[in-house]
Structure 1
Amino acid sequence: MSEPYSDSERAAIYRVIAERRDMRHFAGGSVPPELLARLLAAAHQGPSVGLMQPWRFIRISDAGVRGRIQALVEQERLRTAHAMGERSDQFMQLKVEGIADCAEVLVAALMDDRERHVFGRRTLPEMDLASVSCAIQNLWLAARAEGLGMGWVSLFDPHALAEVLGMPAGAKPVAVLCLGPVEGFYDAPMLELQGWAAPQPLEHMLYENQWGKSL
């Protein structure tokens, strides 16, 4: 039986959760190979339904490929701004990615291999995506604990990105992850700081026994 965590160890876990930020501003630099390996190992320890481990990570080390990914994100940024209507100008003021400035770019992909994994597949087929998200969250928290920023970019056409990366049928990119040193972490979520949205308190999202019945 493992030893219980100390008060300071528990406090560190809650601290890294509270101070995790979706970063968009990076300071260049590099991530030592042994540190990157440690972060990816943390991601690989994420929980997955039926131990399906549907995640795949592609490290983008080629500048040309990185540029093509950034171009796809920019195309989708313009499309999204057009769809925003009256909030278009405000949206265009937001920094939505740090692909050119971060030390590392990783693409997290979902490998659809559910047919071999019956747990949850019949009732909740989305659990493979949930498993990938858990792996990404592990990576995110580990990066924050190591003093590195990470940002999850979702503005891209999955089919176009899959083509750029030569993905096989059944594989789908779900996140472009920007990772690396930052000059500082945001005091609050960037979208809150820039007046785009405000986080909702937990009590508005917590019910008891029946939907809508507050504690």
Structure 2
Amino acid sequence: MTDQAYSEAERAALYRVISERRDMRHFIGGSVAPELLARLLEAAHHAPSVGLMQPWRFIRISDRDLRGKIQGLVEEERVRTAEALGERSDEFMKLKVEGINDCAEVLVAALMDDRERHIFGRRTLPEMDMASLSCAIQNLWLAARAEGLGMGWVSLFEPQALADLLGLPAGAKPLAVLCLGPVAEFYPAPMLVLEGWATERPLSELLYENQWGVKP
């Protein structure tokens, strides 16, 4: 422990919100107060970014008709994904994959245009812009959980179709449709685990030392 550490209670709260964050699909409507939404987005904006490029752009979807069109794009991709899954198609179609029409707020997180001019930290790893946006989304997610709000990341959509719908400039790319709002309860474990779709692997299986595949 160093002199720069937070108190024991503060550390416990941090680890708790990390462990209890869930990718939510079930919402109960309601609303998110403007000042709370602003606080959450500020948390997202405090994320680290490679070369301080801050590639994130957030679009709040307040138009209900536009929400419906976004949900339609997600439904189209859900069907295509089911077809691609083959023998697991029927099982997949039973899963709830989004809460766009049920949640209090919908945000689209996108990568900005003109990213190629940012070379610092991206010359050999250009995908670090996506990593930076992902950090912003994670910040938003953790802050939402701490505030008692659920959030779900929906990635089932054709990026160009969503970009066209929202008027994104050439080069910009939507990465996530984020559903945000009150929930009746948080899942006790990831929904896909509860639904029997997948199982979590322990950290011990994913941690190597010095060389790939070498366990510590």
Fold shared by both chains (TM-score > 0.5): yes
Offset from partner CA, 1:143-197 (integer Å, 9 cap, x none): 0000000000000000000011000001100000000000000000000000000
- The residue correspondences of 1:14-163 to structure 2 (distance < 5 A) are 14-163=15-164
2-side partners of 1:118 and 1:72: how far apart?
33
Letter in 2 for 1:91: F
Note if contact 2:113-2:169 (Cα within 8 Å) is conserved in structure 1.
Answer: no
Task: Report the Cα distance in structure 1 between the residues aligned to 2:52 and 2:162, rounded to whole angstroms.
Answer: 27
| d(CA) in 1 for partners of 2:162, 2:116 | 25
**1:210 is paired with a residue of what secondary structure?**
coil
CA distance in 2, matches of 1:100, 1:119: 40
Structure 1 position 3, deviation (Å):
5.4
CA contact (8 A) 1:54 1:113 kept: no
Verify the 8 A CA contact 2:50 2:121 in the aligned structure 1: yes
Residue 8 of structure 1 pairs with residue 9 of structure 2: yes
SS in 2 for 1:53: coil
Separation in 2, partners of 1:114, 1:71? 29
In 2, Cα distance between equivalents of 1:117 and 1:102: 35
Separation (CA, whole Å) in 1 of partners of 2:174 and 2:16:
30
Indicate yes or no: 2:215 matched with 1:205: no
The TM-score, its normalising length taken from structure 2, stands at 0.97
More strand by share: 1
| Partner of residue 174, structure 2 | 173
Task: Point out where structure 1 has 5 or more consecutive residues left out of the alignment.
Answer: none
Stretches (4+) displaced over 4 A: none
Residue 99 of structure 2 aligns with an amino acid whose one-letter code is G
CA distance in 2, matches of 1:49, 1:112: 16
For 1:49, the aligned partner's letter is V
SS of 1:88's partner is: helix
Between 1:73-82 and 1:114-123, the stretch displaced more is: 114-123
Counterpart-to-counterpart distance in 1, 2:4 and 2:84: 53
Give the distance between the partners of 1:188 and 1:128, measured in 2 at CA: 30
Taking the aligned partners of 2:122 and 2:85, their CA distance within structure 1 comes to 35
Query: Helix, strand or coil: the match of 2:212?
Result: strand
* Cα distance in structure 1, aligned partners of 2:132 and 2:162: 21
Q: How many angstroms apart in 2 are the aligned matches of 1:4 and 1:205?
A: 28
Tell me, in whole angstroms, the C-alpha distance in 1 between the residues paired with 2:176 and 2:5.
Answer: 35
Rounded to whole Å, the distance in 1 between the matches of 2:32 and 2:169 is: 29
SS of match in other structure, 2:214: strand
Q: Deviation string for 1:46-78 (max 9, x for gaps)?
A: 000000000000000001100000000000001
Deviations 1:90-124 (A, max 9, x none): 00000000000000000000114333322212111
* Preserved CA contact (<8 Å) 1:114 1:121: no
Which residue type is aligned with residue 10 of structure 1?
R
Percent identity at matched positions? 78
SS at match of 2:201: coil
